[in-house]
Amino acid sequence: MKFKLVFLLPFALVPWFCLGTLFTSKANALPGQTTDRVTAWIKAHPTLRPSSGETLLVRKSDTAAVRFIFQASVLSPGLATPAGDPGVIRTEQIDLFNAIDGVTANRLEESLRVIYGLDIYQDYQRAQVVYAYPNEAMVREARGQAAPLQEALQGQLRLGDRYAYWLEIAQPRQGFPITGKITILLKSDLDKLESELRNR
């Protein structure tokens, strides 16, 4: 069944200023809560609307050029580590792919607002940026390489009052970015993720 990706924000089928009237969902299942509660929230969410058999991973596609993935996980973000409590969600991630209009930070941030509502969106907006990349050292290192990378990752980690956030966009050397993700994670997992990103 073809699914119109009206939640893919300004580059989708509905103007961005109409989204607030279409989607009034309020986040009531987030990292730190049980898998059962998050699964029930995903199932009832008017935007996510999982297909039969989907629980913590939801895939939507309008065309091959426009895709959306929402995933909740019991694992901490970054490099795989043993799960703490298999009954508790640690991260929730939104992935966008749009080969037609591209993916920007604003579109990822708006997807956060559509899925989670104003409270989480405002927590993200007020959050302190604790790490952003690429930084100057990375740029100097890349310039010294004989064969420059075809794609660079641009992102940042933010620490809010309620959660930590990870935004990342793959920026090709030519053209505009077509993939990106925004992740909500437990504040206790932020140091681990920051250390991994600084050392990769």
**HSE-up of residue 93 (Cα within 13 Å, Cβ side):** 18
Over range 150-157, report the average pLDDT. Answer: 84
181 belongs to a structural domain: yes
165 belongs to a structural domain: yes
Over range 104-129, report the average pLDDT. Answer: 97
* Average pLDDT over all residues of the chain: 83
pLDDT at 132: 96
| pLDDT band at residue 170 using 50, 70 and 90 as cut-offs | very high
65 belongs to a structural domain: yes
pLDDT at 75: 92
Exposure letters 62-99 (e unless 16+ CB within 10 A, then b):
beeebbbebbbbbbbbbeeeeeeeeebbbbbbbbbbbe
More confident position, 88 or 136: 88
Provide the domain limits for residue 133.
9-199
When divided into structural domains, the chain yields a total of 1
**pLDDT for 146 beyond 90:** no
pLDDT at 175: 86
113 belongs to a structural domain: yes
What separation in angstroms does the CA of 145 have from each of 110, 141, 163, 170, 173? 36, 7, 37, 19, 14
108 belongs to a structural domain: yes
Q: Is the pTM of this model over 0.75?
A: yes
pLDDT at 145: 55
100 belongs to a structural domain: yes
| pLDDT band at residue 27 using 50, 70 and 90 as cut-offs | low
13 belongs to a structural domain: yes
2 belongs to a structural domain: no
Residue-wise pLDDT for 64-110, tens only, equals: 899 999 999 999 998 877 767 889 999 999 999 999 999 999 999 99
pLDDT at 54: 95
